[in-house]
A and B are shown apart, each in its own frame.
Chain A
Amino acid sequence: MLEKIARPDQIRRWEGDFPVRHRYTPGVGGEAFFTALKERGVLLGSRCESCAYTYVPARLFCERCFAELSADTEVGPGGELVSFTIVFQGIEGEPLDQPEMLGAVRLDGADAVLIHRVLEPGDEPLEIGERVELVLKGENQRTGSILDIEGFRVAEA
């Protein structure tokens, strides 16, 4: 069998890459969601009445019963913090100058949760179950991207 490698620098190796990039269309459901976000500053979900479930972002179909759906339900801007994490390292394992907070939020009127940044947490520790609200970029800065949402901030009590 193979011997233990004492000099890894002597291993014969080839370096390579995967020289492709990708461009993703948002699809039928996604296009309705991003158009409303950009133009009207609202988040649209899709309600499946027979499953009593509201998806967000909007979807073309219900994964539970396969019904066709439309972007028919405005959700938020308030919501409930379902969970959160605080990220201290970047993708290469490097320490971050400023830790990032990510939250899973169930927006009012939705059953699905949305993941985004948590902004301005303030001095009080975050608590699961507390009220948060959406922060959007200004109308002129919105491009039709998930980053048109700045994030969530803890709602004023």
Chain B
Amino acid sequence: MARRVAVVGAGMTRFVRRAQETGKELAWEASREALASCELPLDRIDAVCLTSAPDAFDGVHMKGEYLSDGAGAFGRPFIRTYVGGGSGVFTAIQAYYTVASGMADIVLAVAEEKMSSTQPHPQGAFLTIFDNILERPLGPNLLWIFALEMNRYMTVHGIDKRDIAAVAVKNKRNAADHPAALLGQADVTIEDVLASETLAWPVQRLDVSPISDGAVAIVVASEEAAKQITSDPVWIQGVGWNLDTAYWTNRDLVFPEYVANAARMAYGMAGVTEPRKQIHLAEPYDPFDYKELHHLEGLLLFDKGKAPEAARDGVLDRKGDLPSCPSGGLLGVGNPIAAAGLMKIAELFWQLRGEAGARQVPGTPERGVAQAWGDLMQVGTVVVMGREGGPPTTATQLETPPAATPGQSLSDAEFRSAAGAVDDGIGARYAWDAGVAIGGFLDGLREGRIMARECRGCDRVLVPPRMFCERCFRGTDAWKQVENTGVVQTFSICNVSWDMQPLDEPELPAVISIDGSDGGFLHTLGEVKPDDVTIGMAVEAVWKPVGERTGSILDIAHFRPRKDA
């Protein structure tokens, strides 16, 4: 039987655009504050769980080892986990099971991110999340994937962009009350969001959370230890995590089923049977404004497509029926990736203890849910936390946490001129083998055919093809040629390159479902005006001339509206 586990302390640095501190110094500042908040010396910590997102941000291989001293790991059991954007919430889950299992009584969980080291733009670190062979030749950038998902979500449910913009407004206003926030803005309006630069339609500048540096830490303890440390522990009542298919172009982009699966797991553990009644506040993951709504639906707190109305009607406001991101979220406080996720756990801790000061949601909320999401948009991580046994006892004496806000911000000029700063590049190059399934797919493209693999276990025709079915976990059965036509599942009109430079001509990335298959892939649209593209449009592959084909995804020049349609 798992032991009961509580959060007993939390701390964080300021989230800033460029921190003077090194990553390990940021980790130490947050960790020290978390320990101070529950008056524990480092030697009471039995084990350390750390998370930080891609090593590529820092160009430091084994970043966990690099950050370990700042996380208090010296001489202790230590592990670094990484599930992309889901990492921050996941490290709380890991701390939970380390304590629940009896392996440790008190665990320090630390999340650090320093994105400012990446030059010329941190988005470069994300380029290799795309398939090296099927997607990178198309020149995708991270905005594409969000824009594609957002467009489909909006189109399928008929959502007004204003209702999505309301989330950005809410969070930036909420963050104005957060002492660690990077982008708090009390007077921002929906019109400001709708007037901001269009990056990759429908994504505009103010729909997006900022690149940030920062760190967050929490102290997690067993029931016995927690009751010695504080009179007011906040219990981790349930945890859940879940993964969708790695083939993102085969996924339902309208509803995050993996978040729902993670939520069901966490609610089941927490005994939550009616989340809309039993969850009093939420910290869903909001790197983009639509994602908060998408995730609130995944968390089963709203019907599919109905969260935007809640944003419009003020239900999600700090004083609304279901306060969502009362911290200010990633859109307002900032998005140092792994740290931003753990910030949501820290916010639930402060809110449920009644310590959130100007950010405090009214009433005495008893239970909240925090969620993050990551990897290639496929992992959901969920934690349900609650306070039990009467109103909080510590509410009035404390300063508004975070009590101190360490973290020194550098201007761009200071960053460029800092004494002792070092410029470096990894300088590695790679060669990727196509493998069996994709090799066959590419051979087909050179012949002007789109080839799939059949799985007779689940009766699916798989595009992109694979030699094994990830659902049935058996070998696939046969090659099958499918049509050279398809349907636009979603698309974007992208105006910027990965390093955020304007493009002369916008690009039209699209997810195309291929006729005669159960899948599809990413490509670009051509021979069509951007304004004429619609979701559901029938398209056909335009092949390069035979002599120019090389066995590459680029053997299809683009997809265009079907001439016979």
Contact-residue size bin, chain B (C-beta under 8 Å from the other chain) = 35 or more
Nearest chain A CB to B65's CB is how many angstroms away? 13
Are the C-beta atoms of B21 and A25 separated by less than 8 Å? yes
Which chain B residues in 441-456 approach chain A with CB under 8 Å? 442
CB contacts (< 8 Å) of A11 on chain B: these are 433-434
Are the C-beta atoms of A20 and B119 separated by less than 8 Å? yes
Are the C-beta atoms of B133 and A14 separated by less than 8 Å? yes
Instruction: Say yes or no: is A152 at the interface (Cβ < 8 Å to chain B).
Output: no
Nearest chain A CB to B108's CB is how many angstroms away? 10
* Residue in contact with B119 in the complex, picked from A22, A27, A60, CB distance below 8 Å: A22
The CA-CA distance from A11 to B433 in the complex, in Å, is: 7
CB contacts (< 8 Å) of B18 on chain A: these are 25
Per the CB 8 Å criterion, the residue count for chain A at the interface is: 35
Of A11, A20, A26, A30, most buried by chain B (CB within 10 Å of CB) is A20
The CA-CA distance from A134 to B125 in the complex, in Å, is: 39
Q: Which stretch in A62-70, A99-107, A123-131 binds the other chain? A: A62-70
Nearest chain A CB to B280's CB is how many angstroms away? 35
Of B116, B125, B421, B425, most buried by chain A (CB within 10 Å of CB) is B421
Are the C-beta atoms of A16 and B136 separated by less than 8 Å? yes
- A-B pairs under 8 A by CB, number: 149
CB contacts (< 8 Å) of A144 on chain B: these are 419-420
Nearest chain A CB to B549's CB is how many angstroms away? 13
CB contacts (< 8 Å) of B72 on chain A: these are 63, 66
* Residue in contact with A26 in the complex, picked from B31, B420, B434, CB distance below 8 Å: B420
Q: 1/0 per residue B333-371: CB within 8 Å of A? A: 000000000000000000000000000000000000000
The CA-CA distance from A28 to B21 in the complex, in Å, is: 6
Nearest chain A CB to B33's CB is how many angstroms away? 11
Which chain A residues in 16-72 approach chain B with CB under 8 Å? 16-31, 33-35, 38, 60-61, 63-66, 68
Instruction: Say yes or no: is A97 at the interface (Cβ < 8 Å to chain B).
Output: no
Instruction: Say yes or no: is B14 at the interface (Cβ < 8 Å to chain A).
Output: no
The CA-CA distance from A16 to B140 in the complex, in Å, is: 14
Nearest chain A CB to B424's CB is how many angstroms away? 5
A26-B419 contact, Cβ under 8 Å, with A14-B434, A16-B429: yes
Which chain B residues in 4-63 approach chain A with CB under 8 Å? 18-22, 24-25, 28, 31-32, 35, 41-43, 56, 58-59
Are the C-beta atoms of B128 and A21 separated by less than 8 Å? no
The CA-CA distance from A112 to B463 in the complex, in Å, is: 56
Instruction: Say yes or no: is A157 at the interface (Cβ < 8 Å to chain B).
Output: no
* Residue in contact with B69 in the complex, picked from A16, A19, A63, CB distance below 8 Å: A63
- Footprint of B on A, CB under 8 Å? 2, 11-31, 33-35, 38, 60-61, 63-66, 68, 144-145
Q: Which 10 A-B pairs have the closest CB atoms?
A: A34-B420, A26-B420, A27-B22, A63-B69, A20-B124, A22-B59, A144-B419, A12-B434, A21-B425, A66-B42
